[in-house]
Amino acid sequence: MKGDSFIKIYKEYFSYVYRYLYGLTYSHQTAEDLTQESFVKALSIIQVSNKSIKSWLLTVAHNLYVDYVKKNSRLSFHEDNFLNEINVQDFTDKLMLKKSVNSAFMLIKQLPENQRQVVLLCLVNELSYHQTSEILGISVSAVTNLIYRARKTLRELRREIDG
């Protein structure tokens, strides 16, 4: 992989890997460290099989997250200001979007980890159920079931908030 190709891949996929890891750790520093480590590992491996680059990078990120959890048996989730890198012209729209993204991540944070992982991969990072099943090492039907339960839980949480 040439340097220019790697830089292009880094710029294109950084936000996907970071969002996934932030959604799992809720720590800006940890997500950033694991994201950087994912790309370092990608650069050293250089080979992408038949998977899409995005799916492959998220697989690397997932494996690094699993290793991180094993090393640090107790994760502490801190409140971080999560700024989504979405270009919005109007300041008011940007502020509303930021509030909406933060609200969504606060709801996702309350999901059990397995549901949180599929939501982050399928709904936030727009991977297919098949790609998600490969990353997590579970069946497509398990992914479908987890998405269904996560959506149901998120609707219930939203109803509680809306009162």
Tens digits of per-residue pLDDT, 8-19? 888 889 999 999
Question: 114 and 46, same structural domain?
Answer: no
Residue 86 lies in a domain: no
**What CATH number should be reported for the domain holding residue 34?**
1.10.1740
Domain carrying residue 101: 97-162
- CATH classification at residue 130: 1.10.10.10
Would you say 21 and 30 are in contact if contact means Cβ atoms under 8 Å apart? yes
Domain contains 23: yes
Residue with tokens 């650069």: 43
Residues 11 and 44 placed together within one structural domain of the fold: yes
> Residue type for 101, please?
V
> Residue 38 domain-assigned?
yes
Structure tokens at 145: 């079931």
Asked if residue 92 is part of any domain, the answer here is: no
Q: Using the 3D structure, point to which of 49, 81, 113 is the last residue of a domain.
A: 81
Residues 125-141: b if buried by 16+ CB within 10 A, e if exposed: bebebebbbbbbebeee
Same domain, 18 and 54: yes
Residue of 146 and 8 predicted with greater confidence: 146
Decide if pLDDT at 161 tops 90: no
How confident is the model over 22-55, as pLDDT tens digits?
988 888 999 999 999 998 887 776 655 555 788 8
Number of independent structural domains in the chain: 2
Q: List Cα–Cα distances, 66 to 16, 21, 52, 60, 122, in angstroms.
A: 17, 11, 21, 10, 18
pLDDT at res. 86: 45
Is residue 88 in a domain?
no
Contact (Cβ atoms closer than 8 angstroms) between residue 59 and residue 51: yes
Last residue of a domain, one of 30, 55, 81: 81
Other Cβ atoms less than 10 A from the Cβ of 40: the count is 12
What are 39's two structure tokens?
């790309």
- Taking the model in full, what pTM does it have? 0.66
